[in-house]
Structure formats: C-alpha cells, structure tokens
C-alpha cells in the first residue's frame, strides 16, 4: 500500500528534525567538571615532586579512585620555587571526579595534612560569589482558610458527602429548605472518599497517593505520595495518617527525594505512616499477615494494621502470635527499644479516652493540675496454647504493668469491644462445647473504672453476631441467633435473630437483661452517637430490609432528670417506628444523633442504588434513587468546646430556644411558599401566553374549525328517547267487597 520510495524520501527531507536532534544530541564534556582541586597537600621542593605524586596516587587508589601521576599537576610559586600546597587532578570523567571527592575528601594524608577536595568549577564559582549579604525576600503571608469553617454555619447544619459515578458532592443537611449542595466536583477521587475523625479533612485516594482537602473552598491541603494506595487510617486527633497499598513500595531511579517521599530503604514495604501537618513520611512497614505463610494472601489482612493510642502518643501493631510493637509518635522509634513479647497474641485494642480523661489531660497540660498523667491502657487476648488457658489481659503502657488478667477456657474466638468512654471493656468470647460441635457465647465485661477491675460475666446460649455499646452509656445491645442456617449463607435465606438490650444495675454492679426482641431479622445495631436511640437494621439481605427505630428512655422525657437516675428496669424501651429501605447496605447516624442515613451502594449490588435520610423516629425525610451511587458519609464533628456548665444551661433553656426556632421556621415557610407561588404564577402566565399565541398562529379558520364542526354536529344530533317499560310482575288481586 505504501507509495513508492522516492516520494517517501521526499517527505523525509521535508521534515524538520532539528528539535529531535537537539533533544538527543550527545553532550560532550567540554568544561572542567572532571578536574578536582586537592588542597592540603604538603608544600615541597620540585625535587620531591615525583615522590609526592606517586604517594598521592597511591592514597587515591586505596580509596578506590585511581589516578595516574601524569594526570596530576602541581602549580609552582615562582618566587619561592616551592609548590603552592595544592594540586590539580584530572579524572577521566565528571562521575569519577565526583566519586573521588566523596571518597577522599577529608582524608588525612599525614599528621599535618588533610586533603580537601573541590571541583575546579566550584572554586571558580565560589570565588566569584557576591560577598554582600542580601536579605532573602520574606514570603508574603497567605491567610489559610479555616479548616473547620463548616462548624460556624449560622444554621448549625451538618454536612454529608455523597459519591456517585465520578461525582463527589458535599451537601448541607438541615430542614428541607436549608438542605443544599455546598460543593461538588467530578473525579474528585479515584477509589473512595473519607473524612478525618474530627471532620477537618476530606481524603481522596488516587493512583499516585492520598490528598487531603479542606476549608470552605475545598482546596488541597496536603498530599502523600503513596502510589496505588488502597486503605487509609487517620489517628484519632488527626495528627497522623497510615496508608496501605497492596503493591510493595518501589522507588524508581530518579524518583523525587525528600522527607515527603519514599527512599530506597522503604522498598518492599506496604504500610506508610505520615505526619499530616508537614506531609512528611515518618516510617514504613511491611504488611503483617495473620499466621500461616502459605495461606497468607488468602487470609484477610487486618485493617487498621496500625492502632493509634487515643492521645496520638503511640502507634502499635501486632505481629500475630509473637508480639505487640509500640512506637512513639512522631519519632516512630520503638518504645524502650523492645516490643512487648506475648506468645500467641492475636489481637489488641487501646482503651479510648473518656471526656473526663481528656479534661484531666488538658488540666495537666496547662499546669492546672499536678496529678500524674494517666497512662494509656491496652487490652489483648491470647488463645489456648500448649496447656495454657486463653487469656485476656489489661496492660498499662508505657509502664507495661499488667493490671488484670482473666483466664478463659474452651475459647474459639475473642473480640474486644471498648465502650467509647473507656469505662467498660466487653470481651465477646465464642466458646465451644467439649465436643466442639456447637458454639455459645460469653460476654466478659471488665469494669475498668473500678478498683481491681472486676469482671462481670453474661452467659448466653446462642451465638452472638453483633455487639454494640451505647455511646457514653452503661447499656449495650446484642444480636444473637440460634438459626441453623447461621454460617451457611444461601441466597434468599435471611437469618432469624433476637436482639437484646442489657444495662448496668448500679446497686448490684452487674449487667441485667432489660428486654429481648425475639424473631427479628436485624443483623446490625446502630446506636445514636448521643446514646438513647438505637436503630436495628437488616442489612445485606436480598429479601428483608427493615429498619427499626427504638428509644430506650421513652418514659424519661425530662432530659435534666434523666442524668440523675437512669431507668434500670427497661420499661422505657419503646418502639418508635419502622422503616424500609430496599437493598440497604449501609446505615449511619449523623453526628448530632437526630438523623439517620441509609444507603444502597453500587459497590455491593446494582439494585436501587441511592440513599435515604430518616429522623430518629423513623420518618423518611428524603429519598434519592441514583444509579451508580457509591457512598454517603456524614462529616464528623469535633467534640464540643462548651463546658459542662454551658451545656447544662442550654438544656435548661431548651424551651426558649425551640420557641425561637419555631418562629424562624414559620417566617421562612411563609417566605418560601410566597416564592413558590410566584414561580408557579409565572409558569401559568407563560403557558397561557403560549396557548394564546398558538391559537392566533393557527388562524381563525382553524380555531373556528372544531367549533363549527361542533355546531354542525349539534344540528345533526338527533335525540332519541327510549322508554323502557319493564313489567316485573303482575298480580291480580280480587278485592272482596
């Protein structure tokens, strides 16, 4: 098909290759890059020159930078006849010269002389340097955006993020009139989006790494170059970030260097820890897979692989069956240079800090209290190994003192659940009977705030599938099942479950069953972040998708009283409402505990993707069915800055506030409806005008057309009256006279 050769040549000649030639031109060394000035050479007479050069040549060779004496040149002082104390050395090329500088520089020649090597070109440059000091231009101060500006919203609305298709949207959520899209951007993230735990940053994941965004204009705040990153985890106080990629780190040649980038030492690792404020890389780790080298890939990796202490002081990771390694932040050095060796350790959890602990810490930090700072605490468990019972241990850190240990028998699995204030630790122990045929469950509850850490045991006959503490509360809910289908997932089968609420009996100091809701299908418990309300959901089932809204303090309406004596009888447990979100995959409360969002994500299935927002009573407020809907995330809020006293004040004046809000609502409503009416009025006017124009355009004859026809028809119409005389029955009666 190609045209003949001559024309091709012709084309060739026409093309201007100068740019390519320029680009690929071989650069010959033309300068003095390969010449090095060696200072600190003994001053000698010409007679000793040969000997000296031979000696120097030897010294250089020893260091791996061989030079021939011929390539060295000694400049002579013509007045004294002696050498000037430095020599020039010419190397084959600039690379050799650079190597010689690094190898020989500072080399002691003898007791009096020490070589100092410089590039010839450098000497020239430094000689020509402008000696006068010029003040560096100070960088103009740029006011950064307030990263928590969203908290200053005059209407006090919460935000949530939706990710659909390629589009990420940030919504304001308030009353229907106040709900609006605050910001949206296409292709904001490649994998998924994530809020930091206090809501300051939004993280997006891309091929080259993670980016953090924030402020009212959603500008980029920080970036972390971790190629092919898949998972991220923020530290609780948003100081640090851990990232994980399935692909081990590779540092290609010519990669950017610096504190924010991987260096060759990091190659082959999967996990990286970063400082969020500076963007610096702190340390990298290889992924730790649970035991079993062959099945390592098959077993699911634990994430978060690194667990942060609640005060951001330490980060720890577990090497299964061997040890827990705790690193201090931000130096990332192993604390006391040794790990905590625990044979068989499976999992551990840090004890969270309660509000009181945080206040205490703040007092200590500001010098208002001279109490000793509280040490961190962690809990871990070890399974039964070689004649040793399984064990749950509470450990203080950094003192490494064991606070409490409890032995357990016939354990097949343990799970650690801390109450969010760090008051209680519940260990859900799945135990097997001696025959190992059936499994039942024990809840071992450690009262962490009490002396000697007493342990309360709740024994259950069934398998517990979900456990959840009431935030800031003394109650918990469990989902248990005795369904024979449990553990054998089959399509169309929804496991029957029971949901039970337990509460602490203060007087006796044990946990009491408050109420059981039998014969449910719920498999998910979601406590409101403020406690009291709880939603039971059936998630991930193809046939059931019920949401039950419960109130646990229904009888105690007066909020101020509730704090004093909590209802311990369980009488206040009240069903508020039931909702149904078909094919729901995720259930999440908003930070205020007033609204609940449910979503059906396209990551799980493609039926009826979208989201719905409910109030705590189970009334549906909003429902959006959106194809390719992936994610809904409420923006977390940092803890309130108000003191206890101020909060109490607000609670006391709640009636006053609600009156104000009602007034605002009423004013707004009338405003809105006026707007809507005006808009509709405009539409009607437009429509009528258009109809009128239409009629005119159609011309009189047409307009008359149907009317004329009608008249005609009227004339044609003949009226038919039909009288139907139906004789149903005829009775003749003889009337006797």
Partner 1 sequence: MRPIKLMGHERSLTQVKFNKEGDLIFSVAKDSSASIWYSSNGERLGTLEGHMGTIWSIDVDSNTTLAATGSADMTIKLWQVSNGECVYTFDMPTPVRRIAFSPDNKKLLAVTDQVMGQIGTITVLNINNQELSNQSSEPALIIKTREDAKKVTIAGWSDNGEYIIAGHEDGYISKYNGKTGEFIQTVQAHGIHNEEKVLAVTDIQFAPEDKSYFITASKDKCSTLIDVESFEILKVYKADAPMNTAAITSVKDFVILGGGQEARNVTTTAESQGKFEARFYHKIFIDEIGRVKGHFGPLNTIAVHPEGTGYASGGEDGFIRLHFFDKSYFDFEFDAERTERAIAAGAT
Residues forming contacts to partner 1 in the complex (CB under 8 A) are 165, 582, 607-608, 625, 627, 673, 676-677, 680-681, 683-684, 687-688, 690, 694-695, 697-698, 702, 705-706
Please report how close the Cβ of residue 503 comes to partner 1 at its closest, in angstroms.
37
What are the C-alpha distances in Å from 65 to residues 32, 94, 654?
18, 12, 83
Please say whether the beta carbons of 275 and 242 come within 8 A: no
Pairing of the two strands 314-319 and 323-328:
antiparallel
Please report how close the Cβ of residue 683 comes to partner 1 at its closest, in angstroms.
5
Please report how close the Cβ of residue 723 comes to partner 1 at its closest, in angstroms.
20
CB nearer to partner 1: pick between 296 and 676: 676
Please say whether the beta carbons of 311 and 299 come within 8 A: no
Please report how close the Cβ of residue 607 comes to partner 1 at its closest, in angstroms.
7
Q: Is 291 exposed, middle or buried, given 0-12, 13-18 or 19+ CB atoms closer than 10 A?
A: middle
CB nearer to partner 1: pick between 140 and 706: 706
CB nearer to partner 1: pick between 408 and 583: 583
Token readout for 67 is 């030079």
CB nearer to partner 1: pick between 181 and 694: 694
CB nearer to partner 1: pick between 124 and 627: 627
Rounded Cα distance, 579 and 584, in Å: 11
> Measured on CA atoms in the order 483, 487, 489, 495, is the torsion positive or negative?
positive
Quick check: helix, strand or coil at residue 541? coil
Please report how close the Cβ of residue 681 comes to partner 1 at its closest, in angstroms.
5
Please report how close the Cβ of residue 690 comes to partner 1 at its closest, in angstroms.
7
CB nearer to partner 1: pick between 382 and 538: 538
CB nearer to partner 1: pick between 642 and 676: 676
Q: 613-620: long-range contacts (C-beta < 8 A, 24 or more apart)?
A: 613/173, 614/547, 614/549, 614/579, 616/528, 616/533, 616/549, 616/551, 616/576, 617/549, 617/576, 617/577, 618/547, 618/548, 618/549, 618/576, 618/577, 618/578, 618/579, 619/577, 620/579
Token readout for 642 is 């108000």
CB nearer to partner 1: pick between 17 and 687: 687
Alpha helix (H) ranges present in 258-331?
Answer: none
CB nearer to partner 1: pick between 14 and 713: 713
CB nearer to partner 1: pick between 163 and 201: 163
What are the C-alpha distances in Å from 573 to residues 165, 512, 516?
41, 14, 10
Give the residue among 267, 394, 380 at the shortest CA–CA distance from 316.
Answer: 380
Tell me how many degrees the CA angle 16-18-20 measures, rounded to the nearest 5: 105
CB nearer to partner 1: pick between 39 and 608: 608
Please report how close the Cβ of residue 641 comes to partner 1 at its closest, in angstroms.
43
Strand partners, 119: 36
Please report how close the Cβ of residue 582 comes to partner 1 at its closest, in angstroms.
5
Please report how close the Cβ of residue 615 comes to partner 1 at its closest, in angstroms.
22
Helix axes 49-62, 94-104, angle to 10 degrees: 90
Pairing of the two strands 347-350 and 497-505:
unpaired
Please report how close the Cβ of residue 520 comes to partner 1 at its closest, in angstroms.
19
Please report how close the Cβ of residue 542 comes to partner 1 at its closest, in angstroms.
9
> Measured on CA atoms in the order 360, 365, 370, 371, is the torsion positive or negative?
positive
Q: Is 328 left (phi over 0), alpha (psi -120 to 50) or beta?
A: beta
């Amino acid at each position: 098909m190609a045209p003949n050769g001559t024309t091709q040549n012709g084309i060739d000649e026409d093309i201007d290759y100068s740019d390519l030639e320029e680009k690929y031109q071989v650069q010959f060394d033309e300068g003095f890059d390969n010449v090095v000035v060696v200072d600190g050479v003994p001053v000698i007479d010409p007679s000793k020159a040969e000997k000296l050069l031979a000696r120097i040549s030897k010294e250089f060779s020893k260091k791996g930078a061989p030079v021939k004496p011929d390539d060295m040149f000694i400049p002579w002082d013509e007045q004294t006849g002696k050498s000037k104390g430095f020599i020039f050395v010419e190397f084959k090329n600039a690379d050799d010269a650079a190597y010689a500088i690094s190898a020989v520089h500072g080399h002691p020649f003898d007791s009096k002389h020490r070589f100092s090597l410089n590039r010839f070109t450098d000497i020239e440059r430094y000689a020509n340097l402008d000696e006068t000091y010029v003040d560096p231009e100070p960088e103009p101060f740029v006011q950064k955006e307030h990263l928590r500006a969203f908290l200053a919203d005059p209407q006090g609305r919460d935000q949530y993020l939706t990710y659909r298709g390629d589009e990420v949207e940030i919504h304001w959520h308030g009353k229907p009139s106040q709900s609006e899209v605050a910001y949206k951007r296409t292709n904001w993230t490649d994998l998924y989006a994530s809020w930091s735990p206090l809501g300051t940053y939004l993280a997006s994941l891309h091929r080259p790494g993670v980016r953090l965004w924030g402020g009212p204009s959603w500008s980029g705040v920080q970036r972390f170059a971790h190629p092919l990153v898949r998972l991220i985890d923020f530290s609780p106080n948003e100081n640090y970030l851990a990232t994980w990629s399935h692909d081990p780190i590779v540092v290609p040649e010519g990669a950017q260097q610096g504190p924010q980038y991987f260096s060759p030492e990091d190659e082959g690792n999967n996990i990286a820890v970063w400082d969020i404020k500076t963007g610096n890389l702190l340390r990298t780790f290889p992924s730790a897979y649970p035991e079993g080298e062959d099945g390592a890939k098959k077993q699911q990796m634990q994430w978060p692989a690194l667990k942060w202490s609640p005060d951001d002081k330490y980060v720890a990771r577990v090497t299964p069956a061997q040890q827990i390694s705790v690193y201090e932040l931000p130096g990332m050095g192993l604390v006391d240079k040794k790990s905590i060796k625990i044979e068989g350790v499976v999992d551990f959890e840090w004890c969270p800090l309660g509000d009181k602990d945080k206040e205490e810490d703040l007092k200590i930090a500001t010098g208002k209290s001279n109490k000793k700072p509280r040490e961190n605490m962690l809990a871990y468990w070890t399974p039964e190994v070689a004649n040793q019972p399984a064990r749950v241990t509470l450990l203080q850190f950094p003192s490494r003192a064991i606070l409490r240990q409890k032995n357990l028998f016939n354990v097949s699995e343990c799970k650690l659940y801390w109450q969010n204030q760090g008051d209680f630790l519940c260990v859900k122990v799945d135990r097997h009977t001696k025959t190992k045929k059936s499994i039942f469950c024990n809840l071992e509850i450690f009262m962490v705030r009490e002396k000697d850490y007493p342990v309360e045991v709740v024994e259950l006959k069934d398998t517990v599938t979900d456990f959840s503490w009431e935030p800031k509360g003394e109650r918990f809910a469990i989902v248990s099942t005795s369904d024979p289908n449990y553990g054998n997932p089959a399509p169309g089968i929804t496991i029957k479950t029971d949901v039970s609420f337990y509460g602490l009996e203060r007087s006796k100091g044990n946990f009491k069953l408050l109420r059981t809701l039998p014969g449910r299908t719920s498999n998910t418990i979601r406590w409101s972040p403020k406690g009291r309300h709880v939603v039971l959901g059936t998630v991930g089932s193809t046939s059931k998708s019920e949401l039950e809204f419960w109130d646990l303090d229904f009888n105690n309406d007066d909020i101020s009283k509730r704090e004093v004596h909590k209802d311990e009888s369980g009488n206040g447990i009240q069903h508020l409402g039931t909702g149904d979100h078909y094919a729901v995959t995720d259930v999440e409360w908003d930070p205020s505990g007033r609204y609940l969002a449910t979503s059906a994500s396209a990551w799980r299935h493609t039926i009826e993707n979208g989201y719905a927002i409910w109030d705590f009573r189970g009334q549906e407020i909003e429902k959006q069915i959106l194809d390719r809907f992936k994610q809904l995330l409420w923006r977390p809020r940092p803890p309130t800055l108000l003191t206890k006293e101020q909060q109490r004040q607000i609670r006391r004046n709640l009636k006053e506030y609600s009156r104000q809000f009602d007034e605002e609502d009423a004013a707004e409503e009338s405003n809105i409806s006026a707007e809507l009416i005006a808009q509709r009025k405009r539409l009607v006017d437009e429509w009528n005008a258009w109809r009128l124009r239409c009629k005119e355009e159609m011309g009189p004859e047409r307009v008359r057309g149907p009317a004329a026809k009608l008249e005609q028809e009227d004339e044609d119409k003949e009226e038919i009256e039909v009288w139907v005389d139906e004789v149903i029955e005829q009775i003749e009666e003889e009337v006797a006279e």
